[in-house]
Amino acid sequence: MSLKDTIEGARREAEGNAVGRPKKEAEAVTSAGEERKGFSRSSAAKARPVREAGASVRVESKAKASGPGRAETKEEKKERKRREREEEDIRNRAYDLVLRELPGYKKTEKVFWAFLGVGMALAVVSLVCAYVFGQNTDLGTWQGILSVASLVLAYAAIIGSFIYDMVKRRPFRKAAEARVRGLSDKKLLELFQRASAEASAK
């Protein structure tokens, strides 16, 4: 064995012993011999990206507390929701006032509630007949005819009221919604003042 092989073997043995030793001692052992050749394994903490991040990669930094994109605090969120609720209440009140001012709407409202009320009353009559005369009544008797007829008429009146609502009353609601959307805050205030004056006059 040559001198060079002996030195190389000693160096490898010293590097092998340095793996299990404390950091300072391992550095002393590895630096004691000649300069190391080849690759050395580095820790992952020292790793750095070779190139800059591409255009599609989003690198986020912590949002500044005073920046425009900062997260809302609990109090700010609560205050914002309260303002939104107030605005929604004001718009709903204005919608009701505008809807009742539309000519012809009050008549459709009366007809709708009349249909619905008749349907509910007939449904109650049908339930009372079923309770008093029993479920299996003979259709040849007046009790059976009354029970079935009241039930059929109740369904017809209730379904008819909803059809009437869709056909006749829905256009009024759409018109009121469009009008309220176009009102400014000043116009809303004037609308409320006018409604208050009319109520006090009555």
Percent of the chain at pLDDT above 90? 20
Instruction: Check whether 180 has a pLDDT greater than 60.
Output: yes
What residues have CB less than 8 Å from 106, skipping those under 6 apart? 100
pLDDT greater at residue 79 or residue 159: 159
pLDDT greater at residue 3 or residue 82: 82
Q: Are 72 and 80 in contact (CB under 8 A)?
A: yes
What value does the mean pLDDT take over residues 52-73? 56
- Residue 88's closest CA among 181, 166, 186, 194? 181
pLDDT per position as a tens digit, 99-149: 888 888 989 999 999 999 999 999 998 888 877 776 666 666 777 788 888
What residues have CB less than 8 Å from 80, skipping those under 6 apart? 72
Ordered by start, the domain boundaries in the chain are 1-33, 103-201
Give the largest Cα separation in the chain, rounded. Answer: 126
**Neighbour count for residue 161 (Cβ, 10 Å):** 20
Q: How much is the pLDDT for 62? A: 45
pLDDT greater at residue 42 or residue 84: 84
pTM of the model: 0.52
Q: Are 119 and 154 in contact (CB under 8 A)?
A: yes
Instruction: Check whether 34 has a pLDDT greater than 70.
Output: no
Q: How much is the pLDDT for 155? A: 93
